[in-house]
Chains A and B, each alone.
Chain A
Amino acid sequence: MILHIARRLMLFVPAWLIMGIIAFTLIRLIPGDPAAILLGPDASPDAVARLREQLGLNNSLITQFVIWVGQVAHGEFGRSFFLGQPVLNAVLERLPVTVSLAGFALACAVLLGVPAGVRAATRANSSTDVGVMAASVIGMSIPDFAMGLVLIYLFGVALHWFPISEYVPLWRSLGGWALHLFMPALSLGMVQAALIARITRSSMLEVLGMDYVRTARAKGLAESRVIHLHAFRNALIQVLTVVGNAAVILLGGAFVIETVFNLPGVGNLVVMAVRRRDYPLVQGCIVLISTIVIVVNLIVDVLYAYIDPQIRYG
């Protein structure tokens, strides 16, 4: 098992390195002088030159990269131009919001998608099945931010069921946190719920046609036991793949929903950083987010091996 984890870890090293190089070079390719942008149009050339020196922008690209990698290895991502705050702090400060949102959305997606898919599969071709699959294809077609705006209007503005005011952190109020995250999480999770329902249904259908399911039924097991113990466990592998992908997509897609609901998360930070050409902040965000994404991928891989011994020993 440890060997398996180590092997997977090695596979992710190039992914991380390439993201690092992209993060570094892409940002340097941006037209315009960040020092001049930072100081505004009225700045004297002297002041711009001084700031360039201070920010290390005068060194060669390779020197800048080496310095940068060394700093990153020490958790030093530089200071954000605009926030005047270390990048690491800025990201860590906002990370709980994004993680809450993605986690909540994933929970919505799994809790809606898996039971719907199982139910549709066990009643294949019934009206339930057709209904679930129709809902799924429609759910997959509504963009998360459009869904978010519609939810804000319906349940926030018109019905006043959910607050659309400022975000409340978990440690201040559990109820407030959940209330504020419900609509964003639902709109973010909907597409993934639809996808999970589809995959769950098709892999359940496949498993339900297997000989061992027939054997389980033949020896007189209750249908619910057959479905949950024999069929679902075996359909789980494929479902887990989609859930793992969903986790990554939700983390990445959070920035649009954070903008819709004005949540102070990492996604909002990235958008702001890009719009203001805040080089260190953009770089730091990319490296930190890709690290998180890679860790999530790794966790999914390990869960995989845990559930399916064929992968572990394969």
Chain B
Amino acid sequence: MVDASISAKAASPVVKATSYDSPARVFWRRLTRHRLAMTGAAIVLLVMLQGLAAPVLLKADPTAIDVERILAAPSASHWLGTDDFGRDLLARIVHGTRLSLLVGFSVLLFTLAVGAVLGMLAGYFPAADAVIMRIMDALMAFPAILLALTVMAVAGPATINVVAALGIAYSPRMARLARAAVLSVRVEEYIEAAQALGIRPMRILVKHVVPNAVAPIIVQGTFTFAYAILGEAALSFVGLGAVPPTPSLGNILADARAVIRDAPWMIAFPSLTLSLTILGLNLLGDGIRDVLDPRMRI
């Protein structure tokens, strides 16, 4: 999707079908040959490793204040410099990234458990469709980030509330997508066959419809992960997300804004981390989309 020619070459090599390959294996082989997707995966993996290894590798406390070293430029003792409280910026960014990933995962799970499930029910059961999608469409008419802000207004700033807010904000999109996927699978002959055999609707949905409708949901999931990281950073940036002194890429940038004249490194490094993470997820998502379903390519 990034570049149709590159991705087409990478995504649709003639697969030699000497023996039967499971769809998952075909998918995996195609994905690993997709250069841009692999670049994205490498970036995402790097960010995750950094987030997981942070407390082990890094001795510096992200909240330790050092009045002697306020706004110190990058040096041997503080690789990325210090912030306006003399806290080590590297430690803050690494811990902030951990938070981003944690929020990203949690929001993804939330949108899958709420959005995807509701969307699939709506897609398969016409009776549920009207009610569920009317509500989802109403929520969709509103920009997601403002919806999240509204929820934050009620819940108050806290990381768990950020997850709920972003989960609610991004679930309608996931629901709409899941519904569309189920609707297109529902009319297939094998579903009709299953119905003719008298299999219970819920079992058909879970066993036959869902596995065939999962592709667009995986793709949307990658992007939801990216949106959630962006959303958390944005909410924390305006002071409605992670509560200081807990570091978040968003509130580091908010601190940086106040000292923009004196500490450009406080802007450069968190911005770079955030952008790289999102870039990795975007590349990976595009790649998965290319591989899973060439028709979905925009």
B5 at the interface (CB under 8 A from A): yes
Bound CA span A277–B150, Å: 11
B270 at the interface (CB under 8 A from A): yes
Q: A22-B150, A297-B141 are in contact. Are A143 and B238 (CB under 8 A)?
A: no
Residue contact B253 to A145, C-beta cutoff 8 Å:
yes
A9 at the interface (CB under 8 A from B): no
Of all chain A residues, the one with the shortest Cβ separation from B134 is A14
**Nearest-CB distance from A235 to chain B (Å)?**
12
**Proximity bits, A112-144, B CB within 8 Å = 1, else 0:** 000000000000110001100110111011110
Residue contact B153 to A26, C-beta cutoff 8 Å:
yes
Bound CA span A23–B154, Å: 10
**Proximity bits, B201-222, A CB within 8 Å = 1, else 0:** 0000000000000000000000
Tell me which of B2, B149, B268 contacts A255 (CB under 8 A): B149
Bound CA span A136–B283, Å: 11
Residues of B within 8 A of A17 (CB): 138
A161 at the interface (CB under 8 A from B): no
Of all chain A residues, the one with the shortest Cβ separation from B229 is A143
Interface residues of A in 54-74 (CB under 8 A from B): none
B245 at the interface (CB under 8 A from A): no
Q: A137-B286, A256-B238 are in contact. Are A27 and B153 (CB under 8 A)?
A: yes
23 contacts between A and B (CB under 8 A): A12-B141, A17-B138, A27-B154, A30-B154, A30-B156, A125-B3, A129-B3, A134-B2, A138-B275, A140-B282, A143-B230, A146-B275, A149-B260, A150-B271, A202-B297, A255-B238, A256-B234, A260-B257, A270-B149, A271-B149, A274-B152, A275-B240, A297-B141
Residues of A within 8 A of B4 (CB): 124, 202, 205
Residue contact B154 to A29, C-beta cutoff 8 Å:
yes
Name A's interface SS.
Answer: helix
Residues of B within 8 A of A143 (CB): 230, 233-234, 271, 274-275, 278
Count of interface residues, chain B, beta-carbon cutoff 8 Å: 51
Residues of B within 8 A of A286 (CB): 146, 150
Residues of A within 8 A of B297 (CB): 202
If A19-B141, A157-B261 are given as contacts, then 18 extra A-B residue pairs at C-beta distance below 8 Å, sorted by A number, are A14-B134, A14-B137, A26-B153, A137-B282, A137-B283, A142-B275, A142-B278, A147-B271, A149-B271, A150-B267, A205-B4, A252-B144, A255-B146, A256-B145, A256-B238, A260-B237, A273-B153, A286-B146
Q: A202-B298, A256-B234 are in contact. Are A30 and B271 (CB under 8 A)?
A: no
Residues of A within 8 A of B2 (CB): 133-134, 136-137
Of A43-51, A178-186, A216-224, A288-296, which stretch is located at the interface?
A: A288-296
Residues of B within 8 A of A273 (CB): 153
A residues at B contact (CB < 8 Å): 12, 14-15, 17-19, 22-23, 26-27, 29-31, 124-125, 129-130, 133-134, 136-138, 140-143, 145-147, 149-150, 152-153, 157, 198-199, 202, 205, 248-249, 251-253, 255-256, 259-260, 270-271, 273-275, 277, 282, 286, 289-290, 293-294, 297
Bound CA span A102–B124, Å: 39
Of all chain B residues, the one with the shortest Cβ separation from A249 is B143
Q: Which of A12, A14, A256, A297 gathers most chain B CB within 10 Å?
A: A256
How many pairs of A and B residues are in contact by the CB < 8 Å rule?
Answer: 147
B20 at the interface (CB under 8 A from A): no
B139 at the interface (CB under 8 A from A): yes
Bound CA span A134–B1, Å: 11
Residues of B within 8 A of A293 (CB): 141-143
Bound CA span A252–B151, Å: 14
Of all chain B residues, the one with the shortest Cβ separation from A121 is B4
Residues of B within 8 A of A202 (CB): 1, 4, 297-298
B194 at the interface (CB under 8 A from A): no
Residue contact A149 to B257, C-beta cutoff 8 Å:
yes
B residues at A contact (CB < 8 Å): 1-6, 134-135, 137-139, 141-146, 149-154, 156, 230, 233-234, 237-240, 253, 256-257, 260-261, 264, 267-268, 270-271, 274-276, 278-279, 282-283, 286, 297-298
Residue contact B253 to A133, C-beta cutoff 8 Å:
no
Tell me which of A130, A146, A252 contacts B145 (CB under 8 A): A252
Q: Which of A150, A152, A199 gathers most chain B CB within 10 Å?
A: A150
Residue contact A146 to B5, C-beta cutoff 8 Å:
no
Residue contact B150 to A23, C-beta cutoff 8 Å:
yes
Of all chain A residues, the one with the shortest Cβ separation from B237 is A145
Residue contact A15 to B138, C-beta cutoff 8 Å:
yes
**Nearest-CB distance from A297 to chain B (Å)?**
6
Residues of B within 8 A of A27 (CB): 153-154
Residues of A within 8 A of B237 (CB): 145, 256, 259-260
Q: Which of A12, A286, A294 gathers most chain B CB within 10 Å?
A: A286
**Nearest-CB distance from B15 to chain A (Å)?**
24
Bound CA span A146–B135, Å: 33
Residues of A within 8 A of B137 (CB): 14-15
Residue contact B275 to A141, C-beta cutoff 8 Å:
yes
Q: A27-B153, A138-B279 are in contact. Are A271 and B5 (CB under 8 A)?
A: no
Residue contact B143 to A248, C-beta cutoff 8 Å:
yes
Bound CA span A143–B282, Å: 13
Tell me which of A141, A157, A271, A274 contacts B279 (CB under 8 A): A141
Residue contact B260 to A252, C-beta cutoff 8 Å:
no
Q: A145-B237, A275-B240 are in contact. Are A15 and B141 (CB under 8 A)?
A: yes
Bound CA span A99–B268, Å: 29
